[in-house]
Chain A
């Protein structure tokens, strides 16, 4: 019953978000944006513990999702000029449009304090993104802390504003774990991964130029993932079972073991 309840709230919220962002020409040209359901779940599950999810709560959750979708959309604007001009143009504008919608909903509520909190989160996220893009970090811990801020600054500001900060650490760990696994997938598919680029640069700067650098990159990555999982498991033990089983896709991240990507085997 509890699982049905949270799924119902998620479907309703998803529908509300889709209604907000619907724009015929944008969708026809670049497609509808992908709404991160794991993140949506993280925004909604605290309400299940409280036992109620009002229309106002739905509006609040939607604003956090809209701004995240805006930032994620802007991530698709490539560094290079390889994409089609019109696709790039509309991707920039779609992101701007979604961030305008977040502001519009909060202005209508009205909740000026949350507008400010989210604005602070956007500032922090973009500062961290620039730091990461410049590969300025001096350690893997620093790099992961930065990734954590990028992935969870909005959700933690949201939790704090809505008095739900006890869930912040779980969201932070889960979101950064999801990102790390996402980076691994990029790397496995031969795409650019900022994490693996950083690790390779970092290890090369350590003076380790042996043939095993690639292997060490993997060891560093696997260790970071294991540590995160361990930390998460401790925090999740405190949650009721039905929360853990509500969205398997998110929590199964915990039970997947990183497998050494084939790319290493081929290079080795």
Chain B
């Protein structure tokens, strides 16, 4: 089953968001518009807008209000991708050349800053101060998380807590605030939007752990890049962290560096997979998913609740 099938009843509203995203980047400056469109047309799961819309359905749903939050969050995500490609020196994203590769770093920086500003512009249509406090705190945390990821590269003495804090800031927070802000825009009570924040946070944690597992277990064809890229770049993710507990394996992993021969890296990846680290990482991901589902239990039954549950389960089972 495809992810989109899980929220097919939102089809019209998702199309509205897509239309609004196109309008959001419709600048008079041709190059800026081309660069933004280049990324927008590459597609993406639009998972954040979906979480926003579904969460808003728990309150007073008005697409004309909630679309502002959905567009803002997708634009913030897109802006961070454009800047991430400068950070990672990436040539390809979503099967297309990146903005920095198609033009240059300078154009990518300006486009990312422009998208971020457009996002805040949309967000200001929401006049509840709490919405801005939630989002701005998340953005600052997200940046701190990205900085920590660079600081922690090739640091093999980190612990589980370091990893969890990093993926919370890197991935889970934006999904959590997508859920929370959707609910805030639907004017729900604080206990409901805080519950949806926790749901999104747990789903986000599970999502990132799964992503980190797939970097070890997927094929290059499935990933669109060589497997083991995270480790090669010095990102110590959960499977590697568990594998580091094995002293013999630790010695091998600690020798990883960015220009390591492919064969040597593949041998280390095989050892990590056969060490049981992937299963342990998968168990932790499942524990987060279970917590996410428990948060949903307290919400009244609805089609939106069922979709949120199905998406969480889908994320738990995804293979690439």
Residues on A with C-beta less than 8 A from B83 are 92-93, 96
Shortest CB-to-CB span from B51 to chain A, Å, is: 21
Residues of B close to A93: CB separation below 8 A:
83, 87, 143, 146-147, 150
The answer to whether B129 has its CB under 8 Å from any CB of chain A is yes
Residues of A close to B46: CB separation below 8 A: none
A110 touches B132 (CB 8 A): yes
Q: Please name all residues of chain B whose beta carbon is closer than 8 Å to the beta carbon of A145 when the two chains form the complex.
A: none
CB distance from A158 to the nearest CB of B (A): 15
Given the interface contacts A101-B140, A107-B136, A110-B133, does A79 sit within 8 Å of B147 by beta carbon?
Answer: no
Complex partner residue of A123 from B31, B117, B139, B144, CB under 8 angstroms: B117
**B270 proximal to A (CB < 8 A):** no
Give Cα distance in the complex from A122 to B31, angstroms: 16
Total A-B residue pairs with C-beta atoms closer than 8 Å? 138
A113 CA / B125 CA spacing, docked (Å): 10
List residues of chain B with CB within 8 A of the CB of A110: 129, 132-133
A residues 114-152 with Cβ under 8 Å of B?
Answer: 115-116, 118-120, 122-123, 126-127, 129-131, 133-134
Across-interface contacts of A71 in B (CB, < 8 A): 113
- CB neighbours (8 Å) of A79 from chain B are 104-106
Inter-chain CA distance A233–B151, complex, in Å, is 50
Q: Is the CB of B135 within 8 A of A77?
A: no
> Quick one: CB contact mask for B144-165 with A, threshold 8 Å, 1 for yes?
1011101100000000000000
Contacts of B216 in A (CB 8 A): none
- Chain B, range 95-153, C-beta contacts under 8 Å to A: 104-107, 109-111, 113-114, 116-118, 120-121, 123-124, 127, 129, 132-133, 135-137, 139-140, 142-144, 146-148, 150-151
| A86 interface residue (CB < 8 Å to B) | yes
> What's the tally of chain A residues with a CB closer than 8 Å to chain B?
48
| A100 adjacent to B124 (CB under 8 Å) | no
A130/B31 in contact, CB under 8 A: yes
A127, closest chain B residue (CB): B29
CA distance A75 to B121 in the complex (A): 22
Q: How far is the CA of A79 from the CA of B103 in the complex (A)?
A: 10
CA distance A115 to B129 in the complex (A): 11
A3 proximal to B (CB < 8 A): no
Tell me, yes or no, whether B219 is within 8 Å of chain A by CB. no
Q: Is B86 an interface residue (CB 8 A)?
A: yes
The majority secondary structure among interface residues of chain B is: helix
CA distance A129 to B108 in the complex (A): 12
Residues of chain A contacted by B114 (CB below 8 angstroms): 122-123, 126-127
Report the minimum CB–CB distance from B158 to chain A (whole Å): 14
Q: Is B274 an interface residue (CB 8 A)?
A: no
**Does B124 lie within 8 Å of A116, measured CB to CB?**
yes
Closest to B113 in A: A126
Residues of B within 8 A of A113 (CB): 124
A113 to B121, CA, bound (A): 10
Nearest residue, chain A, Cβ from B123 = A115
The A-contacting residues of B in range 150-182, CB under 8 angstroms, are 150-151
CB A84 to nearest CB in B, in angstroms, measures 12
Judge whether B28 and A130 touch: CB under 8 Å. no
Whether the Cβ atoms of B117 and A88 lie closer than 8 Å is no
Residue B110 contacts which of A25, A101, A130 (CB distance < 8 angstroms)? Answer: A130
B173 to chain A, nearest CB (A): 12
Contacts of B60 in A (CB 8 A): none
Chain A residues whose C-beta falls within 8 Å of the C-beta of B29 in the assembled complex: 127, 130-131
Structural contact, B140 and A90, CB atoms closer than 8 A: no
Docked-complex contact A96 and B143, CB < 8 angstroms? yes
Interface residues of A in 1-52 (CB under 8 A from B): 23, 25-26
Contact A115 B139 (CB under 8 A): no
Question: A134–B110 Cα gap in the complex (Å)?
Answer: 12
Bound CA–CA A133/B31 (angstroms): 10
The interface bits of chain A over 76-119 (1 if a CB of B lies within 8 angstroms of the residue's CB, else 0) are 01111100011011101111110111011011101011011011
Given the complex of chains A and B, what is the CA–CA distance between A100 and B106 in angstroms? 20
- Please, which residue of chain A has its CB at the minimum distance from the CB of B134? A107
Q: Is B89 an interface residue (CB 8 A)?
A: yes
Cβ–Cβ contact A97 & B140, under 8 A: yes
20 extra A-B contacts, CB within 8 A, seeds A93-B143, A106-B136, A110-B133: A71-B113, A81-B105, A89-B150, A92-B86, A93-B83, A93-B146, A93-B147, A94-B147, A97-B147, A103-B135, A103-B139, A104-B136, A107-B129, A107-B135, A112-B132, A116-B121, A119-B120, A119-B124, A123-B27, A130-B31
Q: Which 6 A-B pairs have the closest CB atoms?
A: A122-B117, A107-B132, A110-B129, A97-B143, A116-B124, A104-B136
26 A-B pairs within 8 Å (CB atoms) are namely A25-B148, A78-B105, A78-B106, A81-B105, A86-B150, A89-B150, A90-B147, A92-B86, A93-B143, A95-B113, A96-B143, A96-B146, A97-B140, A97-B143, A100-B136, A104-B137, A110-B129, A112-B127, A115-B120, A115-B132, A116-B124, A122-B117, A123-B121, A127-B27, A130-B107, A133-B106
Binding site for B on A (CB under 8 A): 23, 25-26, 70-71, 74-75, 77-81, 85-86, 88-90, 92-97, 99-101, 103-104, 106-108, 110, 112-113, 115-116, 118-120, 122-123, 126-127, 129-131, 133-134
